[in-house]
Structure 1
Amino acid sequence: MAMYLVAGTQSANGKQNFVNVMKMSELQEMEEERSDDEDIIDEEPELIMEQIKHNGVVNRIRCAHIPGRELVSTWSDTGKVCIWDISHQFIQLDNKDNQKMTETSTNHKPLYTFTGHQTEGFAMDWSRTTHGRLLTGDCRKNIHLWNPTDDGSWQIDQRPFSSHTNSVEDLQWSPNEPTVFASCSVDKTIKVWDIRAAPSKACMLTTNAHVTDVNVISWNRNEPLLVSGGDDGIVKIWDLRRFKTGEAVAVFKHHTDAITSVEWLATDNSVFAASGSDNQISIWDLAVEKDDEEKGNSVDVPPQLLFIHMGQKDIKEIHWHSQLPGVVISTGEDGFNIFKTISV
């Protein structure tokens, strides 16, 4: 089995930053997870990668498949947002002889660089309904809309969406409506916007979501649901049809530190994953209810909690693999974890 991964990293001495385009192959079950009657496979996992030198630390990186091109956008701590064409890097990976941990560094230049934010940021999302449309949000509360142009570049509206009163932490395009997106902020709110209105009037809905910073959100692909995670360690589920009430339809308190990432499973409307600064990844299923036998159990574990993954340090992001059902990829201070539970 092989998979591709794009991530931002820093050299061991901290003096050089990279965009890494990686190919992982010969991935197998860990030996302790194999049954006794399974043959032991001698091949070790292999990692090869192409590195692109990056100016500044990569705060966040996001990928987009545009017809004929593979793009990534990067938020830098220098206050710049860059877009890179990594199509060549994918070709190079497929042409390389597989050798464990081989790498090639290049001075590949970005397709486009935007300096209009004038400060660093983390929030960024590519539209799934309009090829090449991008949102970026910064630590000064401003959100900018990028629209692709016919010449392969981008036009960026200099008028920011700026209803938030503090740093914008995450952005999510609606998976179904091309003009609608959601944002969350250090100001403790989640907002829903419509870009058909002028930026000063585009905020359509606001709710006070958490008692602390709202760090991350994820929009369900098929249902009008958002999941959010905050510095309070709480995960909340929001029904957009009841958003104005300010009441979440579900609240889960399992993590003991800030939530760092959340994401719905695209193939199951009720399943999502969350990670926290407590070095845990949790997988949840909203469709599970406590049965009669569990009602008398004194252990206070939500029945919706399917699985807990531990052992990784300072987890930053989690993502479901788009083609391998149930496979989760997580990034942390000590590297990458790739795992599949028996639950989904």
Structure 2
Amino acid sequence: MGEFEDPYGDDNESDEEIVETNDDEGMEIDEDEEETKHETYMPGKEMGENEVLVVDNTAYEMLHTMNVEWPCLSFDFLGDNLGVNRTTFPMTAYLVAGSQAEEQKNNQLYILKMSQMNKTKYDDDFEDDNSDDGLDDDPILEYKAIPHQGGINRVRVMPHPESHIVATWSETGKVNIFDITSAVKSFDVPGVMVNPKNIKPMYTVNAHGRAEGFALDWSKAETGRLLSGDINKHIYLTNPTDSSFKTDIQPFTGHQSSVEDIQWAPRKRINNTAPVASFKWHTAPITSIEFHPQDSSMLAVSGADNQLTLWDLSVERDVEEEKNINSDIQDIPPQLMFIHQGQEDIKEIHWHKQLTGVIGSTASDGFNIFKTINSQ
């Protein structure tokens, strides 16, 4: 499993390339040792005293891990001009993330470029290694760190092609809107030099007072419209102006308690709000959920049980086939396609809208960027 080095050292203004290092310690094979027995692990199963969980790289087309100085509750992928529906390797992705530092003054809005992300499927199998795939090339991580007052509860990128307008929900009760165009350009345009400390919010929503929040969403239908909801039940609408933004004085007050999440409706209102399906699998609260941007039947879900699951809602139960299946497997919903583990306290997940089938996740121990072998 490829692992990015921690980019957030003492110098927060650095924009040098930081590459993955391969630690060969502990990788030597003792031919005299007995062959290790491998079996598939299912969540909830008790492990033996000498058993450990290890990743099976053959289950992933690509799996990279990125460590950060401070955990991030939220992140979002940035759009780019490298093309849509990309499936070839190596891959490149840009994202923004917000820190949760121990002190308010130390928080930052991270802007990252991850490039040269190659396949890792055969990292455990040297016989199947194909030199043409460039599997030995290290991924490259570049970053900018913008100072941010207060921990960042939520980050959202304006959802329009190549948009570099970003909104952040701060624990101080403010919603800040940044234009990070110059910082993103500095990764790829020769001669563009940017000091992240000079990037300030282009607009701040102060209407929430000191009440922090987590609900934040840009409209996909009308460019620049932003909704933000706080723990005091209030939802405010911010609209774009010719040169900036303006927040409505009066909030929406339909809720009686904290607004934890908010989404703009992609289409007109529907009358039937009954669930189309119900599945029981996660054993702790759901922390994030998102449909595949190109396939409305595919769904990614993360939970406080440290599982990230992929679902195909188009799959139907086959009663006849289930008669020939092991009783333990019968308890698995047929729509459950993949279980990703290895992270602690997963907070948010997103599909990349231009890298087909690629998913990002943030947790208390860092980020995972991956694509499974059954993800389209």
TM-score range, shorter chain: 0.7 to 0.9
> Could you report, residue by residue, the CA deviation over 1:286-341 in whole angstroms, capped at 9, with x for unpaired residues?
11012221255423110000100000111111000101111101111111101111
Cross-structure match for 2:40: none
The question of whether the paired residues in 2 share the 8 Å contact of 1:280 and 1:310 is answered with yes
What is the CA distance between 1:42 and its match in structure 2? 2.6
Residue 26 of structure 1 aligns to a residue whose secondary structure is strand
Alpha-carbon separation, structure 1, partners of 2:231 and 2:104: 23
Of the structure 1 ranges 81-90 and 107-116, higher mean CA displacement relative to structure 2 is found in 107-116
The counterpart of 1:249, out of the listed 268, 276, 279, is 276
The letter of the residue matching 2:110 is N
Q: Which residue of 2 aligns with 1:304?
A: 335
Percent identity of paired positions between Structure 1 and Structure 2: 49
Name the SS of the counterpart of 1:242 in structure 2.
coil
Whether the 8 Å contact between 1:275 and 1:315 is mirrored in structure 2 is yes
CA–CA distance in structure 1, aligned partners of residues 332 and 230 of structure 2:
37
Shift of 1:94: 1.4
Higher relative contact order (CA closer than 8 Å, sequence separation 6+): 2
Q: Secondary structure at the match of 2:333?
A: coil
2:334 counterpart letter in structure 1: P
Q: What is the TM-score when the length of structure 1 is the normalising length? A: 0.74
* Structure 2: tracts of 5 or more residues without a match: 1-90
- The 4+ residue runs of structure 1 with deviation greater than 4 A are 10-15, 65-69
Q: Given that residues 158 and 164 in structure 2 are in contact (C-alpha distance below 8 angstroms), is that contact kept between their aligned partners in structure 1?
A: yes
- Structure index of larger Rg: 2
Q: Which residue type is aligned with residue 223 of structure 2?
A: H
Instruction: Give aligned pairs, total.
Output: 274
Shift of 1:6: 0.6
Q: 1:34 to 1:93 in 2, by over 3 A?
A: farther
Instruction: Return the TM-score normalized by structure 2.
Output: 0.68
1:323 aligns with 2:350: no
Cα 1:77–1:34 change in 2 (3 A) is farther
Deviation at 1:175, TM superposition (A): 1.9
Equivalent pair of 1:51/1:104 in contact (CA under 8 Å)? no
Contact 1:124–1:134 under 8 Å retained in 2: yes
Change in Cα spacing, 1:324 to 1:69, as seen in structure 2 (3 Å) is closer
Q: Secondary structure at the match of 1:106?
A: helix
Deviation of 1:29 (Å): 2.1
CA deviation digits over 1:207-243, x for unaligned, max 9?
A: xxxxxxxxxxxxxxxxxxxxxxxxxxxxxxxxx4421
Task: Tell me how far apart the structure 2 counterparts of residues 277 and 135 of structure 1 sit (CA, whole Å).
Answer: 26
How far did residue 176 of structure 1 move?
Answer: 3.4
Contact 2:180-2:199 at 8 Å conserved across structures: no
Q: Which runs of 5+ in 1 are unaligned?
A: 98-102, 181-239
Partner of 1:147: 239
In proportion to residue count, which structure has more strand? 1
Farther off after superposition, 27-36 or 160-169: 27-36
Tell me: CA distance 1:305–1:65, structure 2 relative to 1, closer, same or farther (3 Å). closer
